[in-house]
């Protein structure tokens, strides 16, 4: 058995793909896996096909789709529509592709549903908190208070008739880091299914989609590790047509004066979320699971569980800051 490990924030997602030795070379299908770097993160794509040439062709097409999405929604690449929206904040609307307009519409729906616990305009705080190891002091209360003036989904103005997006205040930014990888995983799966690929996994750095099955009909297995117990799997998910997303604070954080601060920021306060170390959600869509996991981290245990229970087609696995598991 080969264990393929993925990290996203605090949580280790373990994709267990059954290996096939020389004795299985005559089997009808094989699983081919490739690692690649996209959206600033490690991706891994697995395709089930009759031979490696076919499988690698479909992996190439999946990677092309991921790159297309990154060139649409990245706020770090200067040529993207999102970058243009941010540059022209408070100045004028930007005409965008229908795909980006619809993704933003869904993001605003998620914000409304959570009363602002989810907010893509949190990207305006990207210079306030740093989670790359360079931050040694907390930002001042004044800095945080001033920065959240540029956060507010109500100031993201969509014109569906003319297909434009406008940020009504200078200094505002939007970013899709909270749902972008899940969206990419969804689109990768949709493309492969439309081309008749019988099974596979698109793992966007821990936000992943599955469909079909492994060779010989085995289900895909995703292991969730408890970050408080190294090298131990807390739960194994057996999936066919599904998606998994995780948000957490264990791997990506700032440690200041002995205190760890989560990289997931509460849009209302401008401060890192507290109470939960990790949230894993699984269900039909990786994008929606992404939204739920991020929002629950911000809302905390009680409100977060109440949100999750509104969507019975999705399941949850929470680990609190004191190591308690809730499922």
pLDDT at 27 (0 to 100): 54
- pLDDT per position as a tens digit, 200-240: 999 999 899 999 999 999 999 999 888 888 778 889 999 99
Whether residue 254 is predicted with pLDDT greater than 80 in this model: the reply is no
- The strand pair at 199-204 and 41-49 is best described as antiparallel
Strand partners, 157: 166
| pLDDT at residue 179 tops 90 | yes
Contacts 24+ apart (CB under 8 A), 74-78: 74/39, 75/123, 75/173, 75/174, 75/175, 75/176, 76/40
Map out the domains of the chain as residue ranges. 81-167
pLDDT in tens, 41-78: 999 999 999 999 999 999 999 999 999 999 999 999 99
Q: What is the mean pLDDT of the chain?
A: 89
Read out DSSP for 212-237? Answer: S--GGGPPEEEEEE-TTSTT-EEEEE
81-167 has CATH 1.10.3980.10 classification: yes
Question: Model confidence over 155-165: pLDDT tens digits?
Answer: 999 999 999 99
* pLDDT tens digits for range 4-18: 333 343 333 444 433
- In the chain, the percentage of residues whose pLDDT exceeds 70 is 90
Is the pLDDT at 244 greater than 80? The verdict is yes
């Amino acid at each position: 058995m080969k264990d393929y490990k993925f990290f996203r924030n605090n949580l280790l997602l373990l994709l267990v793909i059954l290996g096939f030795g020389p004795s299985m070379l005559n089997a009808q299908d094989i699983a081919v896996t490739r690692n690649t770097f996209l959206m600033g993160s490690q991706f891994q794509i697995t395709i089930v096909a009759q031979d490696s040439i076919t499988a690698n062709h479909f992996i190439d097409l999946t990677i092309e789709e991921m790159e297309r999405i990154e060139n649409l929604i990245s706020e770090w690449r200067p040529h993207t529509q999102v970058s243009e929206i941010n540059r022209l904040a408070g100045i004028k609307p930007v005409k965008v592709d229908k795909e980006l307009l619809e993704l933003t519409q869904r993001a605003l729906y998620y914000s409304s549903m959570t009363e602002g616990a989810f907010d893509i305009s949190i990207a305006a705080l990207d210079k306030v908190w740093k989670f790359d190891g360079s931050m040694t002091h907390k930002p001042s209360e004044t800095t945080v208070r001033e920065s959240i003036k540029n956060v507010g989904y109500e100031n993201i103005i969509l014109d569906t008739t003319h297909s434009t997006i406008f940020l009504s205040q200078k200094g505002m930014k939007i970013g899709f880091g909270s749902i972008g990888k899940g969206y990419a995983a969804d689109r990768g799966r949709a493309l492969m299914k439309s081309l008749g690929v019988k099974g596979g996994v698109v793992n966007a750095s821990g936000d992943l989609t599955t469909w079909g099955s492994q060779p010989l009909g085995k289900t895909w297995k995703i292991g969730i590790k408890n970050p408080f117990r190294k090298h131990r799997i807390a739960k194994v998910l057996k999936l066919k047509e599904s998606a998994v997303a995780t948000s957490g604070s264990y791997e990506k954080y700032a440690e200041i004066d002995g205190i760890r601060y989560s990289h997931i920021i509460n849009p209302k306060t401008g401060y890192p979320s507290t109470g939960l170390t990790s949230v894993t959600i699984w269900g039909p869509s990786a994008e929606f699971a992404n939204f739920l996991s991020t929002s629950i981290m911000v809302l905390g245990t009680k409100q977060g569980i109440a949100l999750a229970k509104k969507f019975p087609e999705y399941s949850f696995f929470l680990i609190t800051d004191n190591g308690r598991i809730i499922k």
